[in-house]
Amino acid sequence: MIKPFDDTYFMRKALQEAEIAFEKGEIPVGAVIVVDDRVIARGHNLTEMLNDVTAHAEMQAITAAANFLGGKYLKNCTMYVTLEPCQMCAGALYWSQISKVVYGARDLERGFITMKTQLHPKTKVEGGVLAEEAGELLKRFFVTKRNLN
């Protein structure tokens, strides 16, 4: 059976969210949550706009997906996120019982793998999907930020 969409298709949707964050002056991280090949939630970083350290792309998407589904558990859902989730977001993903997390670039400083944070035992994890594109967007953001300061 041929899947109509693949991981790169949905990661490109997450990258579109990251671009929105970039345009708003936010660290460019984007996320989408998918169920049955359908995007049910989107999010991008809003920490500066909301003055809220918890307003990460993943948190925005988790809340939107829970609202869409009418419940707090994201079983049978996949999150596509452009940067490896941090410890806080990994904790929220753990509690949501999401079925799969696909991330783009690794976060070697603050990512959940480096921090040794566990996701739910049933959650599958795949990394490196469009990692180069996600990493380039982050690099461009920080170069731009440094040049403005």
Tens of pLDDT, residue by residue over 62-117, are: 999 999 999 999 999 999 999 999 999 999 999 999 999 999 999 999 999 999 99
The annotated binding site is made up of 56, 86, 89
- Give me the residue label for tokens 């180069």: 132
Q: Supply the residues annotated as catalytic.
A: 58
Tally of domains in the chain? 1
The annotated binding site for Zn(2+) is made up of 56, 86, 89
Give the lowest-confidence range in 17-21, 59-63, 144-148. 144-148
> What pLDDT does residue 149 have?
60
125: CATH: 3.40.140.10
> What pLDDT does residue 97 have?
97
Question: Residues 21-70: pLDDT tens digits?
Answer: 999 999 999 999 999 999 999 999 999 999 999 999 999 999 999 999 99
CA dihedral 69→93→122→8, nearest 10 degrees, is 80
50 in a structural domain: yes
1 in a structural domain: no
The answer to whether residue 145 scores a pLDDT higher than 60 is: yes
2 in a structural domain: no
What domain range is 81 assigned to?
Answer: 7-148
36 in a structural domain: yes
